[in-house]
Chain A
Amino acid sequence: MAHRKKNRNVGIIGIGQTKHSSHREDVNQPELIYEAVSLALKDANLTMNDIDCVVHGNMELFEMVHQPDLWQVLGTGAYGKDCIRITTGGTVGATISCASDNLVASGMYDIVMAIGFEKLQEGHTTGGITNMADPLWFRKIQSGALTGSSAYDVEREFGLERANRASLTYRIIMDKHAGLNPNAHRSFGLEFSQIDDLIRTSPKLVGELKLIEMCSQSDGACCVIYACEKKAKELTKTPVWIRDHISAHKEECFPIFGYDRKYPVLKTHKFAAEQLFKRNNIKNPLDYFDVFEMYDPATWWAIDWLRDFFALKGDEHLKLIEDKEIMIGGKMPINPSGGVIGSNPIGATALLRVAEAALQVRGNAGPHQIPTPVNHALASGFGGTMWTVMTMLEKELNW
């Protein structure tokens, strides 16, 4: 990890997103994208003429449309412009953010627009995900993004009762956060008093993974505009600076989950977080960051991953949840937006983490703005069998 030399600083100057929802029959794909793009342009007070390059991405096979970058020009505004398509699975949104950062930092372009979108209702998400596996054998066996293995791990370590309650507590906190976010797809109005009922009644998907614990399937788009330091300072009073980002990828399918403590497996979240914090000289990330927008595809993963991201020991991660320290107003607010469990237009999801974290830094996220000042924000993306992208955002250019 010797690189990360930026030629110049990069700031986020415009953010736009659609209202995420399960069905958008009233718009086709470019029309959905157009909504987010026009909101981001409006937010940045720019027109399409100011954009030097468009970076566009979504999941492959999810809408069953070939060359979406081409026919979605009607919505992306890329007519006659440089346009780069990126698709890296669930991390795609985070990767287009990294790419946009790199394109501006390198000096290639002054202003770059990143667009992530998905209309999950148009394809078959799980069917699409099965196609990421080796067609010669694993595609025929695997079960999409659904697995109960994390639930099993947490249960085995902390007991079924505590594990289930932590999972549902996390779920209800996300539901409450989503209830504050006007763009969130699903907010059911859940109360902590419903935990026992939900554990009993929510249908099981795979193993202990219940329907209520899984992320939603959403239609939505997100657009973020990146500018070089000079332009960012000219164009806005509140740029959000990108301090650093990291990607950690891993081979497909091979031991994702460990079965034996004598043979530890590489956990990319842990690996990426350690690298990122070390090279930025952050000793205690839990103290340093004011908010974390985490890619949480299911509650079980979320609670398990908290330990990986923040290098927590024993049951510290469960305590954070049980003490509701991850709620807005708590010690480390996780996903004030409601997270992926609240809205999951997959190609946009990881970009939304960056966008929502940036909104928190800017201080105008809306009803889900956390009340204390946000100077340092963290965003993560997750995809593939175990891929991680992390982005660090700062209010001041002072690191």
Chain B
Amino acid sequence: MAEYWGVKVEDIFNSMQERFRPEGAKDVDSLFGYDIKDEGKWKLTVKDNKMTIEKTDDLTGCIATMKADGETFVGVNTGNVDATNAFMGGRVIVDGDMGAFGKTGKLFRKFVIAQKEMTTKDYLADMFATIVPRFKANEAEEGLDVSFAYDLGGPDGGKWTVFIKDKKCTITTTIEGKPTVTLEFNDARDYVDFILGKIDAQSLMASGKAGAKGDLNMMATKWPILFEKYKDPMAGNVPQQELIVLKKIISLNEKFSTGPVMGKFLKGLKEQKIYANKCPQCGRMQLPPREVCADCRVRVDEFLEVGPKGEVRYMDIIYYAMPDPLTGQVRETPYGGINILFDGCKGNETLPHFIRKDQIEKIQMGWNEKKGTRVRPVWEENRIGDIWDIKYFEIDE
């Protein structure tokens, strides 16, 4: 099995149980399929706030199946591939109930790539292997002839000597000759921590974990000049900063004055009447009525009752769940928004409203001379002078 970013496809599935969030599984009672190219198929069962995952070729009964290649699947799960990009770009395909599949997003905690850790031995090897490359020859003064020895104890310990002579740096894995200074650490782990800056030399020495023989002062002053600082290869793995994101629904109460014109329209609805007004200049019917005709810039005073039956000139089927501006909660989809041309109106003089949910499929839109499906309003029993005094429109048979 191929690895992507150090992760195998099956690592993602095998960790699902561990990453499962029962609180995200409320109201979920479904089977989901995963079809990963060249890797196999998995079936996820979620029921009663519990889950099981199995590798199987039988994906029958799945409400939705995600299809992707291994790299994309691992990438999306590890954050290396943008999920939206992959989905929009067709690299991830969901067959079946898209909305239901969306709920899987809440089922699991994020997959975290296990950081490969460096052992003391790895660090020691890296630290001493990089000493010669880190040596800055041009900083060594003429005639400088020193040697720094390391005697590190503990299971991973060892001995090293660093020689600087004739502006050259060499290293041996023994202690040879008479070093300028010898650093002694009881445990090589402390040396690693010291070089990584996790603990300072004085604390180590004060607690008896380390000591020095010879001219420590020489080393303390020369070393930082002669060598570049050791770079921790794991330093890139610093935890990311926590970024605060606050979520809320802002809700404000408002008051609107209808004015005399819209007031007449809304009051009309209360009496099951639909009023338009007619421009004295261009003759167009405005619905809802407006005080002026914006095209002709003249006052419009003549109110006429239209409808209440009419034909559908246009319908939008809305699949995208959008919030109701009154509550901030999303509406159930799909629903149909229609533009109705009431009897007594012509051309584009339509009013938008909703169609009865179960009749979306039956609606024909009108166009030019072609007539659309005839509809009639369904009135609320308790009308208050609001657009929702009409519950919706239904086909007038």
Query: In the complex, which of the residues B256, B294, B318, B354 has the most CB atoms of chain A within 10 Å of its own CB atom?
Result: B318
From A207, A251, A255, B317 is in contact (CB under 8 Å) with: A207
A88 sits at the interface (CB 8 A): no
Are B337 and A64 closer than 8 Å at their CB atoms? no
Query: What 0/1 readout, one digit per residue, does chain B (10-46) give for beta carbons within 8 Å of chain A?
Result: 0000000000000000000000000000000000000
Contacts of A127 in B (CB 8 A): 322-323, 325, 328
Least CB distance, A191 to chain B, in whole angstroms: 9
Partner of B339, one of A189, A259, A262: A259
Q: Of A26, A64, A201, A206, which is within 8 A of B90 by CB?
A: A201
Q: Kindly identify, within residues 196 to 232 of chain A, every residue whose CB is under 8 Å from any CB belonging to chain B.
A: 197-198, 201-207, 211-212
| Size of A's binding interface in residues, CB under 8 A | 56
A261 to B93, CA, bound (A): 41
Which residues of A in the span 13-39 have a Cβ within 8 Å of any Cβ on B? 22, 25-26
Residues of chain B within 8 A (CB-CB) of A124 are 323
In the complex, whether A312 has a CB less than 8 A from a CB of chain B is no
Chain B contacts of A275 at CB under 8 A?
none
Judged by a CB distance under 8 angstroms, whether B172 is at the interface is no
Query: Could you say which residues of chain A place their CB within 8 Å of the CB of B220?
Result: none
Q: Of A108-116, A128-136, A387-395, which binds chain B?
A: A128-136
Residues of B within 8 A of A270 (CB): none
Q: Is A138 an interface residue (CB 8 A)?
A: yes
CB within 8 Å of A: which B307-324 residues: 313-320, 322-323
CB distance from B32 to the nearest CB of A (A): 17
Q: Knowing A136-B266, A141-B387, A186-B85 touch, does A262 contact B320 (C-beta < 8 A)?
A: no
Contact mask for chain B residues 326-364; partner A; CB cutoff 8 A; 1 contact, 0 none: 101000000001010100001111101110000000000
CB contact under 8 A between A261 and B368, given known A140-B325, A141-B353: yes
Return A351 CB to nearest CB of chain B, in Å.
25
Segment with Cβ contacts to B, from A144-152, A285-293, A319-327, A366-374: A144-152
Q: Mark A232-264, 1 if CB is under 8 A from B, else 0.
A: 000000000000000000110011011111110
User: Interface size of B by Cβ–Cβ distance < 8 Å?
Assistant: 51
CB–CB B326/A140 < 8 A: yes
Q: Please name the residue on chain A nearest to B269 by beta carbon.
A: A137
The answer for the CA separation of A257 and B337 in the assembled complex, in Å, is 14
Report the minimal beta-carbon distance from A67 to chain B, rounded to whole angstroms. 15
In the complex, the answer to whether A194 meets B90 with C-beta atoms within 8 Å is yes
Point out the residues of chain B lying under 8 angstroms from A146, CB to CB. 316, 318, 320, 322
Q: Are B352 and A130 in contact (CB under 8 A)?
A: no
Number of A-B contacts (CB under 8 A): 136
Q: Which of A130, A152, A197 interacts with B325 by CB under 8 Å?
A: A130
CB of A142 within 8 A of chain B?
Answer: yes
Closest B residue to A141 by CB, please name it: B352
What residues of chain A lie closer than 8 Å to B365, measured between beta carbons?
A: 152
| CA distance in complex: A64, B286 (Å) | 33
Q: Is the CB of A206 within 8 A of B387?
A: no
The answer to whether A255 and B349 touch across the interface, beta carbons within 8 angstroms, is: yes
Given A131-B325, A186-B85, A255-B348, answer yes or no on A205-B354 (Cβ-Cβ < 8 Å).
no
Residues of A within 8 Å of B325, CB to CB, are 127, 130-131, 139-140
Say if the beta carbon of B7 comes within 8 Å of chain A: no
Given A26-B243, A139-B325, the answer on whether A260 and B368 have CB atoms closer than 8 Å is yes
Say yes or no for B227: interface residue by CB 8 A criterion: no
Is B89's CB within 8 Å of the partner chain A?
A: yes
B304 at the interface (CB under 8 A from A): no
Out of A130, A137, A207, A266, name the residue touching B316 (CB < 8 Å).
A207
Cβ of A313 within 8 Å of any chain B Cβ, yes or no, is: no
Residues of B within 8 A of A255 (CB): 347-350
Which A residue sits closest to B99, measured CB to CB? Answer: A203
Q: Mark A345-365, 1 if CB is under 8 A from B, else 0.
A: 000000000000000000000
User: Do A22 and B84 form a contact, CB below 8 Å, given A136-B262, A251-B294, A262-B347?
Assistant: yes
Residues of B within 8 A of A265 (CB): 348
Asked if B318 and A206 sit within 8 Å, CB to CB, the answer is: yes
- Closest CB-CB distance, A265 to chain B, in whole Å? 6
Report the bound CA distance from A127 to B368 in whole Å: 33
What would 13 A/B residue contacts be, using CB atoms closer than 8 Å?
A127-B322, A137-B262, A137-B266, A146-B318, A186-B85, A186-B88, A205-B319, A206-B316, A206-B317, A255-B348, A259-B367, A259-B368, A260-B368
Q: Which residues of A contact B (CB under 8 A)?
A: 22, 25-26, 64, 124, 126-127, 130-131, 134-144, 146-149, 152, 156, 186-190, 194, 197-198, 201-207, 211-212, 250-251, 254-255, 257-263, 265-266
Q: Could you list 4 further interchain pairs (A-B, Cβ under 8 angstroms) beyond the known A126-B320, A258-B348?
A: A136-B262, A142-B352, A143-B318, A207-B317
